[in-house]
Structure 1
Amino acid sequence: MLGRQEDGRRRIVDFVLYDDLDPHCLDSGIVRFDGRHFGALWSMCKERALSVVADIHVHPGGAGQSDSDRDHPMISRSGHLALILPNFAASPQPRASIGIYRYLGGKRWATVPRDDRAAFFHIGL
C-alpha cells in the first residue's frame, strides 16, 4: 500500500500487487517475495512521490500472524504496518476483523487490539 505519512498518520492513495513486482512470488501458494524486486518498488515510489505505508495479504482462516509473517516482515523497518484480511478477504470485512500489526524491529510486533482497529484504520474519503 502506497501513500504518504503526515503528522503521524498514513494515507493510502495507491497500491501495487506483489506479483506485479515479482511475477513468481505466488508460485508456491504463499507470498515468497524475492528481494531483488524491491528496486522496482522504490523506483515506483520515487516516481509517484509516495512511500510504502503498509502491506496487506490474506489468510484462509483468521487474521492472526503466522510464524512466517512474524519472521519475515515485508518491510523490516520499525513502524511498518502489516494488515491481514481473514477468510481470503471474502465479504464483508469489518475493520475489527482485519489483523493490524506494527513492526517493532528484531522480529517483534505489536498487535493493534481488536477494539481499537476501527479508530486506528479509517476507510473513507
Structure 2
Amino acid sequence: MSFSIARTMRRLLAPDHRLSCASHLWNRLLADLRERGGNRRESGAFLLGTTDGNRRHIMHYVLYDDLDPHSLDTGIVTLDGQYYGKLWTICRELRRGVVADVHTHPGSSHQSQSDSEHPMISVAGHVSLIIPNFARAPVSRDDIGIYEYRHDGGWNSISACNRKRFLHIGW
C-alpha cells in the first residue's frame, strides 16, 4: 500500500484541483523562467510528474533551452522536434511523464494563435500554462493562463474564477 501524507493533505486542502505543484518547486521554476528569458524573450518548460486519474502532480521540470539550445533564440519559443527524444529519455530516467507545459509571454497570459495552432503536446487533456510579464514577480495564480487541449484539436480556457480550483500551488 502506498501512503503519502502530502498527497492526503493536498486532497483535503484542494480536493478539486487538477494540477498541483509544491510551492518551493513552483518558485524555482518561475525564477528559472525569468532567468532564461532575461526579461526580454519568452521561455518555457515541460512539467514532469505523476498522474492519478484526472489529477496531475508536478515533481520536476525540463527547461526548453536545456533540450534545444536554440529554442529561445527568436524571442518566442520554437522547439525543434528532434529534441523530444531527449525529453522522453529524461522522463524514463525519472520515471515521470509530461503532465503539462508552461511558457511566458511579454504581456498577458492569453493564448496566441501560434500557441493554439502548435501545441507542445497534442494529446487530449494536455494542460498548457502561460505566465504573463515574462514571469516577473509577483505572479498571481489568477493571472496565469490555463488551457486544456481537447479531442477535436481545440483548447478549453480555464476561466479566472476556476483557476484556483484547477491549479494548486502549495503542499
TM-score normalised by L of structure 1: 0.97
Tell me the residue number matched to 1:21. Answer: 67
Q: Per residue, is there more helix in 1 or in 2?
A: 2
Structure with larger Rg: 2
2:68 pairs with 1:68: no
Classify 1:105/1:7 alpha carbon distance in 2 versus 1 (closer, same or farther; 3 Å): closer
Tell me the residue number matched to 2:160. Answer: 114
Runs of 4+ aligned residues of structure 1 deviating over 2 Å after TM superposition are: none
Which residue identity is paired with 1:103? Answer: Y
Which residue identity is paired with 2:125? Answer: G
Which residue identity is paired with 2:130? Answer: I
Tell me the residue number matched to 1:98. Answer: 144
Residue 106 of structure 1, CA deviation: 4.2
Identity %: 51
Q: How many residues align?
A: 125
2:118 pairs with 1:86: no
Tell me the residue number matched to 2:83. Answer: 37
1:2 and 1:14 in contact (8 A); partners too: yes
Residue 168 of structure 2 aligns to a residue whose secondary structure is coil
> How well do the aligned residues superpose, as a CA RMSD in angstroms?
0.9
Residue 122 of structure 1 aligns to a residue whose secondary structure is strand
Quote the Cα distance in structure 1 between the aligned partners of 2:97 and 2:109: 25
Instruction: For residues 20-52 of structure 1, give each alpha carbon's deviation from its aligned partner in whole angstroms, at most 9, with x where no partner exists.
Output: 000111111111100000000001101111000
Quote the Cα distance in structure 2 between the aligned partners of 1:29 and 1:76: 23
List alignment gaps of at least 5 residues for structure 2: 1-46
Residue 75 of structure 1, CA deviation: 0.4
Matches within 5 A, 1:3-14: 3-14=49-60
2:107 pairs with 1:56: no
Instruction: For residues 51-85 of structure 1, give each alpha carbon's deviation from its aligned partner in whole angstroms, at most 9, with x where no partner exists.
Output: 00000001111100000000000001111000000
List alignment gaps of at least 5 residues for structure 1: none
Deviates more, 1:19-28 or 1:102-111: 102-111
Residue 107 of structure 1, CA deviation: 3.4
Q: Which of structures 1 and 2 has the larger relative contact order (alpha carbons within 8 angstroms, sep 6+)?
A: 2
Which residue identity is paired with 2:120? Answer: M
Residue 13 of structure 1, CA deviation: 0.4
